[in-house]
Amino acid sequence: MRMSDIVARHILEMLDECDGNAEIQRNELASVLGCVPSQINYVITSRFTPEQGYIVESRRGGGGYIRITRINTSKSTAIMHIVNSIGKRLDKVSAEIMINNMLQRSIINEDTARLMASAMSERSYQEVPQQYRDFLRASIFKNMLLTLV
């Protein structure tokens, strides 16, 4: 398992234990998990965004912290936020992160997640010229999400 996955899982567990609110001391968490503090920043900025259903606040300095709050929204509102965040291009890794976040938030079930992941895989686009893959992936992913609304 990659370090970013370990960090994300730990933060999600903290959110689950604290009713969707977690305060993190970046250096302390890095020490506990055996990684560098910048890894914590990377995970937070890539996996805990408003589009993925989180609000992140931070305070710098000696008593600084990072506060993450899970936004409780309806399924259709959450999906529309994701659709609006995609843009014209979508790479495979970003699609996988969105799918995993939707699965963790029970927006989709495991069968739907597997189907979506299959449709987003590089193998599905092997016949498409490289320069068009991310455009096509974004269009297909948006359409799949809109069918769920």
State which amino acid sits at residue 110. E
Q: Contact 116/108 with Cβ under 8 angstroms?
A: yes
Question: Model pTM?
Answer: 0.63
User: What pLDDT score does 63 carry?
Assistant: 62
| 3-70 CATH fold | Phenylalanyl-tRNA Synthetase; Chain B, domain 1 (3.30.56)
Successive 10-residue mean pLDDT values, the chain, 149 residues: 88 89 89 90 87 82 80 84 90 92 90 97 95 97 94
Rg of the chain in Å (alpha carbons): 16
Domain boundaries, the chain: 3-70, 75-148
Check if CATH label 1.10.1200 holds for domain 75-148: yes
Q: How many helices (H) and strands (E) does the chain have?
A: 7, 3
User: What pLDDT score does 62 carry?
Assistant: 64
